[in-house]
Amino acid sequence: MTRSARSTPPLAEPLAPAPRAGALAIDPYVPGKSKAPEGVRLHKLSSNETPFGPSPRAIAAFREAAGHLEVYPDGTARALREAIARAHGLDPARVVCGAGSDELLSLLAAAYVEPGDEGLFTEHGFLVYRIAILAAGGTPVVAPETSLTADVDALLERVTERTRIVYLANPNNPTGTYLPEDEIRRLHAGLPKTALLVLDAAYAEYVRANDYAAGIELVDEAENVVMTRTFSKVYGLASLRIGWLYGPPPVVDVLNRIRGPFNMSGPAIAAGAEAMADRGHIDVAVAHNAVWLERLTDGVRSLGLEVTPSVANFVLIHFPDEPGRRASDADAYLTARGLVLRAVGAYGLPNALRMTVGSEEANQAVLAALSDFMKASAHG
Ligand SMILES: *Cc1c(COP(=O)(O)O)cnc(C)c1O
């Protein structure tokens, strides 16, 4: 080919780089709001962050790591994987860390989904699953839920020979509902061995139900199950971006091939390892959550609002479908008072708000404000 032939493109040739088809089908993820009006004290209850912050040991490790930011981190994040493995009784070689569990959820789709393959998740499932599947060129398939809870039969009915990955948040965000271990096992038993079951246990630390399991045993028993976890919720390190995955050796091997060689920063490795070791800090946060999850659920219900039973660190509040009393009205009312909850229209729940369990002060403030809102809207 001559130079001039090459520099004269055919008329139909695109004039700009074109992304793969799935990329533009993705609605960009919209994070929880974090702004209150000028001069109003902000209580951010929109992203399921802990009111306790991280362990002081994690903060000290982060500060220490700031002294050598010019050095590349350990690409295997060994210290962090070992701290995780020690706390959970796992083999550190089967743990992979990521820049938040979001990175791992995306890497799994990148590794196992080819264009044309299907990825399955539930009606009100975490939005990142759809993004991960579409970004990999796959086709998202959505299974309906029953009573805002994942439905194993509905999931299994939607499995086809093209199903490569099934994402299930357990407990789920934004509903707070969960499936007991026997239902997870029934789901797994009904899946083809060629489909990877991803158990996203971002809120596992908060769950106190006896019939719940985060998934470690199932990962040990099966070849096609992984469990993902995060430091963003009860560990209070959302800003550092730390997630981890426990999986079968072949899956771990694939992830270690496709992940960025230094996907975890040095400060994240150091702070995460200390946070994992500080059990006492977590116990305090979990105990506070148990008390307030119940008080908030009861308190909001006593105002005449419906609350979905939650086992996580947030509650889903449903509003009346009446002018002036809808979720959007409540959202505006609360935000004006510095109480920022999460609108969940993008999750197919246009008339609900998700509230993170906050500090005692924040929780009381929301209960009082919601009470005022209901009274004000009742009297027009
Ligand atoms: C918050 C959350 C995560 C954690 O995301 P990170 O990337 O680790 O911050 C994962 N899954 C669900 C369902 C969540 O709500």
pLDDT 10s per residue in the chain (380 long)?
A: 444 445 555 667 778 888 888 888 898 887 777 777 888 899 999 999 999 999 999 999 999 999 999 999 999 999 999 999 999 999 999 999 999 999 999 999 999 999 999 999 999 999 999 999 999 999 999 999 999 999 999 999 999 999 999 999 999 999 999 999 999 999 999 999 999 999 999 999 999 999 999 999 999 999 999 999 999 999 999 999 999 999 999 999 999 999 999 999 999 999 999 999 999 999 999 999 999 999 999 999 999 999 999 999 999 999 999 999 999 999 999 999 999 999 999 999 999 999 999 999 999 999 999 999 999 988 65
Q: Whose structure tokens read 């070849």?
A: 223
Secondary structure (3-state) at 229: strand
Residues 246 and 362 in one domain: no
In a domain, 42, yes or no: no
Residues 274 and 153 in one domain: yes
Half-sphere exposure of 220 (CA within 13 A, CB side): 9
What pTM, to 2 d.p., does this model score? 0.94
Residue 180 contacts residue 168 (beta carbons within 8 Å): no
pLDDT on residue 30: 79
Residues 204 and 73 in one domain: yes
Q: From ligand 1's centre to the CA of 347, what distance in Å?
A: 15
Residues 354 and 230 in one domain: no
Residue 92 contacts residue 269 (beta carbons within 8 Å): no
In a domain, 205, yes or no: yes
100 lines ligand 1 (CB under 6 A): yes
Q: Which residue has its alpha carbon closest to ligand 1 atom 11? A: 202
Alpha carbon of 263 to those of 111, 162, 200, 238, 336: distances in Å?
Answer: 16, 30, 20, 16, 39
pLDDT on residue 72: 98
| Structural domain ending residue among the three candidates 278, 301, 317 | 278
Q: Which long-range contacts (CB under 8 A, 24 or more apart) does 294-302 make?
A: 295/363, 296/355, 296/357, 296/363, 296/366, 296/367, 299/367, 300/367, 300/370
Strands 163-169 and 118-122: parallel
In a domain, 40, yes or no: no
The DSSP H or E segment spanning 251 is helix 249-258
331 is written with which tokens?
């959202």
pLDDT on residue 8: 56
Structural domain harbouring 222: 56-278
Q: Which residue has its alpha carbon closest to ligand 1 atom 3? A: 202
In a domain, 15, yes or no: no
* Domains contained in the chain, number: 2
In a domain, 324, yes or no: yes
Residue 245 contacts residue 101 (beta carbons within 8 Å): yes
167 lines ligand 1 (CB under 6 A): no
Residue 150 contacts residue 39 (beta carbons within 8 Å): no
Residues 223 and 336 in one domain: no
In a domain, 13, yes or no: no
Query: What is the CB neighbour count within 10 angstroms for residue 17?
Result: 5
**Cα–Cα distance measured from residue 327 to residue 340, given in angstroms and rounded to the nearest whole number:** 12
Q: From ligand 1's centre to the CA of 24, what distance in Å?
A: 23
Residues 202 and 294 in one domain: no
Q: Which residue has its alpha carbon closest to ligand 1 atom 10? A: 202
Q: Report CA dihedral (84, 88, 90, 93) to the nearest 10 degrees.
A: -10
Residue 208 contacts residue 311 (beta carbons within 8 Å): yes
Nearest 5 degrees, angle CA 331-CA 233-CA 54?
A: 115
| Structural domain ending residue among the three candidates 278, 309, 343 | 278
Residues 185 and 305 in one domain: no
